[in-house]
Each structure stands twice: as C-alpha cells, then as structure tokens.
Amino acid sequence: MCGIIGCAGHEGDTVPVLLNGLARLEYRGYDSTGLAVSNSDIHVVKREGELDELVETVESEIEVDGVAGVGHTRWSTHGKPSDANAHPHTDCENRVAVVHNGIIENYQSLRDDLRSLGHEFESNTDTEVIPHLVGHYLDAGSSPKAAFHRAVEKLEGSYAIAAVFESRKEVMATRQDSSLVLGVGDEATYVASDMTALIERTDSVIHLDDGEFAFLSPDGYTIIDEDGERQSKAQTTIEWDVEEITKGHHDHYMIKEIYEQSAALRECLRNRSTTDRLISLDTFDDYHSVDRVHLVACGTSYHAALFGAQMLRERGVSAQAFLASEYAMTPAPVQDGTLVVGVTQSGETADTLAALRAADERGARTLALTNVVGSSAARECDEALYIRSGPEISVAATKTFASQLVTLTLFALHSSSTESNHETRRLVSALDELPGQIQRLFDTTTAGEIASRLADGSGYFFIGRGLQYPVALEGALKMKEITYEHAEGFAAGELKHGPLALVTDETPVFVSAVGDNETVRKTVANAEEVKARGAPLVAITDGTSSIERLADEVLRVPSTSRELAPVLVNVQYQLLAYHTARHLGRKIDKPRNLAKSVTVE
C-alpha cells in the first residue's frame, strides 16, 4: 500500500530519479501519484490515475528541478482517488511538502484545531494535517527540523513520512509501524518505503526503526532517535539485482514469477539439509523448547500457515494457524514453550506485525518467516527464517507461497521430536526432486487451454482434503484476485453441508486428488456429488486415483510425497488463474483495489 521515494543530491536530475523510483513502486498498488522538488520554492505535481499521467504532466509542465525531492504512489484510505487527494501535500504557504504511508488516527481532531487557527485544507486525506502542523510550528519560530519533529510528536497511528522544505537541500523522514529504508549512494542519499525503489541507485541500505528520524543531504545522512540522540546504524547490502525486478521477455510479472518457482525453491533449499539428508536450518536451532506453535498470517500467507500448522501437528507439535487481524485483537493464551510464528512475505504486513507484538507482550517467543532481510518482522522477532524467494513484483503472490510451503515443511521436520530419520530422509529426498518436477510440469501443462474453455463460468469452486485444503483456498484466492470472478475454496467434505446448493452446470469445480490413499478416495467420493449436479469437473491428479473417470478436464502433476503434492497442485492453480484472467482481459499484475504490501490494519 502506497509507496515513498525521496532523494537528496541529484541536482538537475531529481525528477527523473523520482519518476524511476515511482515506477519501481507501482507493483505495491496505487490509484494516484505525485512528486515535489525543492529549490528556492517547492514545485508539486500530482495526478489521479496511472504513473503515465504524472509523467506526461511533468514533461509538459515542470520547469524547475532541485537537489532534493520526494515522490509518492497513493492507495486510497481517506478520500477517493483524485488530484487533490494525491500526495504530496503542502502547508498554507507552500513551505513544506509531505508524503505519507499509513493512517493518522487522530487526524480529525488535529484538523479541527488547525482550522480554528486559520488553516485551510484542500483534500479529504488524513495526511494533509502533517504539513499544516509543520507550518504551524514554522510560524511559531521553530527551525524546519524542529518543526518537523514537533509535528510528528502530535501524530497518533502508523506512518512513514518524508518531507522537503523550500530552499533546503535535504529530505527529512521518520517512521512508526510502517517500513522506511535509507539508501546510501556515492553522491546522493535516498529514502524509500521499499528496497526495490533503490536497487538501480545503490545496494547499501539502512532500515529505520520506529521513532527514528533521518535527515538526508547530498553529503550524507544523520539519524536520531525520538529523544534527539544521534544513532550509528550498520548498512545492509541488497542482494537482489535489477534483472530480478524486470519482466524480461514475459508479458506479466506474474507469469515470470510462476516460472521462477523452480529456481526459488532451489535457493530456499540450499544448504538446509545435511549429507545424511537431515534438516539444518540457518536459524532457530533451539527447537526442543517449543511445546506449541501459533502461526499468524494474512491472505496467501495464512493459507501457508494452515499448511504449516497441519505439518507440525502430524509430527507431534501442537500447532494452530490464526488470522493475524483476529489474533492481534484477541490473542490466544500464551504459555511457557509457546512460539508465535509470523508468516509474512514482506515482513511489513501491519496485521501480522500487530499480532507478533501482542504475542511478545504476553511473553511468547517469536519467529518471523519472511522473504525480506531487515524487514520489520525480521528485526522485531527473536529469530527470523527466510524463504529466499527473491523480489516478487506482481500483487498476486506465487513463488513466495511455494517457498513458504517448503520452508514450513523444513521447519516442521526441524521442530519434530517424533519424526524418524527414515521419514525425514524420505521427505528431504522428495524436496530435492521438487524443483525439477515443477519445471517438468511447465513443459506439459494444459492449463491455458482449459482456462479458455472455462473462462465463462459463473463461479469457481476449489476443493481438497488434508494438506490439499489450504491449497484449495489459495487456488480460489488467486482466481478472485486477478480475474475478479467469484471463487471459493472448501474442504471437500464440507460441500454437502451447504455450498453444494450453489453448484450448477456453469460452476467449474477443481478437485485435487493426488495419490491413492483413504483421504484421496474420500475426495473422489465428494467429486461424485459434484458430478451428479452437472458441474464441469477439473481434476488435478498424478494419475494414480480413480478421479479421471469423473473428470471433464484433467491437469496432471508429477508423483511426489503426500506432503509436497500441494506445491505442485498449486502451480497448476496459479496457471489456471493467470490464463483465465488473460482470457478475460484483466490487469493481471495490478488487480483493482489490491495492494502488494498491506501496511495498515
């Protein structure tokens, strides 16, 4: 949600730097864009709609540049998408321009107070109170730095803020519960909400902590804490490169990232099993003290958490998965030996961070299972376990979900006190084969053809049992996210308890039935119920069960272990969603109303 880019030190080139950074932030989801540059005065340009609208306006209107500037992609929370509501916002005298991610919870009372002092507002946003507060303190005689600090002290809520002042060659920034990183270049310094905005400028970043302020200039940067004490912080090297955040020859980031899953899983598995095929994780060695596990997550990551919880339970570890937004409000009881695992791709998901903080307050040990080194979750938790997927640009998660499933499998094996060495070796062997199996699936899939035949369905149902149930939920979510069509995932046995009333001959039902055990046979029986109602039936199978005799369409996956079959099934579901959305002409990488990183609760 929303994106921030700022720079100090690119005199005569600030606007192109900002526009390039905004282009790299488009994937987060947005409905308007804007930028401000500081010279003898402040020049602001902002537009509702796509970044192209801003670029066109800048090319036709802007006549000045400056040494310092800030830019923003907005995802609306307060006030509809419009030019007026786009960021940056300024004070009454146009002395300061501010961009902001997050929500200012006390904005209405601040707005009322400022109006009573004569301030006039031009937008419906919560953000606009920030520059007006700064202006108020400037009027009272404060220096720009002091005015910025005093204004931030008045704010309640979550925020990442960057600001520029007239006639000053610096960017001021701060954060509270919202990601913000500094980039350190040879001739300029940068600030951004996301490392992807900085990759082309620098590979050295510093993660700001809550309450810290950063002051960027062409000569460097200064960081202070909320008490004004100067801080010395280590720089982190970004290991991603530019090629990883471009589409290459692909039409969409989503299909590129689907195809990257083989490589992502190889990286996920690298150096995580020993020569005798036992698990060796790079963090979290003290697993013997864990008696119970709470996994907290949102969206796709929640489906991974459901999978992980079952994997743990099957190995004798008491485990539950919780929606992070609910856990944050009503945390489950924490006892000695409780580990709370936050599953979050970005490490910045607001609901998941809130759940982890609630767990920490109750005395739980915490672990971040995330993709981003140095993210808020990774820094705040007691330990971090990385899924190693590399950058994911499409809003719809694909390769990160596969890596979450595999990392949680490793974690379950690592944490088990009952798993035999034979069983561990069996699964490690299957894990080693998985990347190659995914690659073979790409070579043989008919998902595109099936999607074109079923794209006119009135709704889509996905069913599975056991470890296939979370993947049924994820398959439905992918279909919803990028096709805008109704889709639901169900535990296969639950169809007859209500949802079957919705099944018609225009409701394709996708059934995952891999292997031929009792669970699969029960799933086939559920498929019989669907077939009796005339629904088109699509089977995802390795060919060993009897599901094909019922199916109207078949998608094959390679044979693998029961535990890892969901990973392969999910790849077919991703391809089905992608090709259906393409057939329907949807905006695949940036689906409407959605954001990549959800940084508000």
* Extents of the domains making up the chain: 3-243, 248-443, 445-601
Euclidean distance between CA atoms 286 and 394, whole angstroms: 36
C-alpha 238 chain-centroid distance: 18
pLDDT value at residue 63: 66
Query: Environment class of residue 80 by beta-carbon count within 10 Å: exposed (0-12), middle (13-18) or buried (19+)?
Result: exposed
3-state secondary structure 125-189: CCCCHHHHHHHHHHHCCCCHHHHHHHHHHCCCEEEEEEEEECCCCCEEEEEECCCCEEEECCCCE
- Same topology for domains 248-443 and 445-601, yes or no? yes
The pair phi, psi for residue 286, each rounded to 5°, is -90, 60
Annotated catalytic residue within 2, 268, 298, 381: 2
CA nearest to 45, candidates 24, 75, 66: 66
CATH superfamily of domain region 445-601: Glucose-6-phosphate isomerase like protein; domain 1 (3.40.50.10490)
Is the pTM of the predicted complex or chain greater than 0.85? no
Strand ranges inside 218-274, DSSP E: 220-224, 230-231, 236-237
Q: Which CATH architecture has domain 248-443?
A: 3-Layer(aba) Sandwich (3.40)
pLDDT at residue 417 in the model: 61
> From CA 587, how far away is CA 559, in angstroms rounded?
34
Listed in sequence order, the residues at least 6 apart from 496 whose beta carbon sits closer than 8 Å to its beta carbon are 526, 529
Exposure of 592 by Cβ count < 10 A (0-12 exposed, 13-18 middle, 19+ buried)? exposed
The residue to which tokens 């540059």 are assigned = 37
Residues 270 and 337: their CA atoms lie apart, in Å, by: 29
Contact 125, 79 (CB under 8 A): yes
What pLDDT, on a 0 to 100 scale, did the predictor assign at position 501? Answer: 79
What does pLDDT average to in each consecutive run of 10 residues of the chain (601 residues)?
87 88 81 91 91 87 80 83 92 96 92 94 93 96 95 93 94 91 90 86 89 93 91 83 74 94 94 67 65 95 98 93 91 85 92 94 93 89 92 91 96 77 86 95 95 92 95 97 95 84 87 91 88 90 91 95 96 97 92 69 57
CATH of domain 3-243: 3.60.20.10
Burial profile 196-215: b = 16 or more Cβ within 10 angstroms, e = fewer: bbbbebbbebbbbbbebbbb
Is residue 596 annotated as a catalytic residue, yes or no?
Answer: yes
Distances (CA, A) of 242 to 83, 203, 267, 424, 461: 31, 10, 18, 37, 38
Gap between the Cα atoms of 381 and 387, Å rounded:
16
SS3 491: strand
Q: Look up residue 510 and give its amino acid.
A: F
Q: Where are the beta strands (DSSP E) in 390-469?
A: 460-464
Number of residues that this document lists for the chain? 601
DSSP character for 27? G
Catalytic: 587? no
| Strand ranges (E), 200-315 | 204-207, 213-217, 220-224, 230-231, 236-237, 292-297
Catalytic residue among 399, 531, 590, 596: 596
pLDDT, position 485: 95
The predicted pLDDT at position 504 comes to 81
